[in-house]
Each structure stands twice: as C-alpha cells, then as structure tokens.
Amino acid sequence: MDDLHNGRDALRVRAAAPEDLDAVLAFWKVAAEGTSISDDRSGVERLVARDPQALILAERDGVLAGTVIAGFDGWRCHLYRLAVHPDHRRRGVGMALLAAAEERFVELGGRRGDAMVLDRNELAQHAWRAAGYAPEPQWSRWVKPLTE
C-alpha cells in the first residue's frame, strides 16, 4: 500500500490500526449502505486482531475517504465494506482501495475476489462493474445469525 498522487492531492492507502476503529465505525454510518451483525467495536477489533492487514483505509489530506475489508481465509478472497465518503466519490478512492485489496490477495495466493453487493445499491453495482467485477445470478447468500 502506498501514497497515490492524482495531480491535486495525495491519497494514502494503508492498513487500519486499532486506534482507527472508532473513526471507521463512525465513517460507515455516513458512507456505507446497510449494516452487518459484526459492524460494532468488538467485531472490528476481532477482525484487526486476527488479520491486521485486512481492513484497508484510504485517506486524503488526513481525512478518512474510504474503506474496504479484504478478507482471505486461505482459500477464497472476500471483499466487504467498500465504502467511499460522499465527498470523495468519483475521485479514484474506490479503485485505489480495490487495487490494494487485489494486490494483497495476489500476494497471499488468492485467485478470485468476490464481493457482496446489495441488490438495491445501484451506485455500488456501477462501481463494482467498472472495477471488472460481475454478479453471479446463480448464487444466493444464505445466512444464519449465530448469536441473538
């Protein structure tokens, strides 16, 4: 992960640190569509403790502009929480985050990335398609909460 320059201002892409987690959770309330059962302090702490490189942040001028979780379980590469702040959209933040995630996956031996995208989130669907991802309509996500 590195600093990227687009002629105006630098975009810094880096792994999250434990001290970033409160800012990330607040950021997701503004920039992310929908919530997950693990979108809380303890869930994100477990993620960073288990895999310190999985939560990737993009900052512009010291301000959090975007996030993505690039999870690798040793077999498959999963992308979660690609979120870009509304003030930073259409400025390369999402593409920079995906490039960092894909680079991580390749280094770990991953062969294919997948993402969960809400059916109703047309903006996100456009961004994923622009990045070269495509839906697989033959699959459905099945879930079962393990806690109440």
Q: How many CB atoms lie within 10 A of CB 118?
A: 10
Edge to edge, the sheet with strand 10-15 lists: 3-5, 10-15, 55-60, 63-72, 77-84, 113-115
What is the spatial distance between Cα 25 and Cα 10, in angstroms, rounded to a whole number?
23
pTM: 0.90
Please report the domains of the chain, with CATH numbers, ordered by start residue: 3-130 (3.40.630.30)
DSSP helix, strand, coil percent of the chain (3-state; round to 5): 35, 25, 40
What is the spatial distance between Cα 110 and Cα 42, in angstroms, rounded to a whole number?
27
**pLDDT averaged over consecutive 10-residue blocks of the chain (148 residues)?**
59 97 94 77 93 97 96 94 94 96 97 91 91 92 81
Query: Which 8-state DSSP code applies to residue 141?
Result: -
Burial environment of residue 101 by CB neighbours within 10 A (0 to 12, 13 to 18, 19 or more) = buried
The pLDDT of residue 35 is: 67
What is the spatial distance between Cα 113 and Cα 111, in angstroms, rounded to a whole number?
7
The pLDDT of residue 63 is: 95
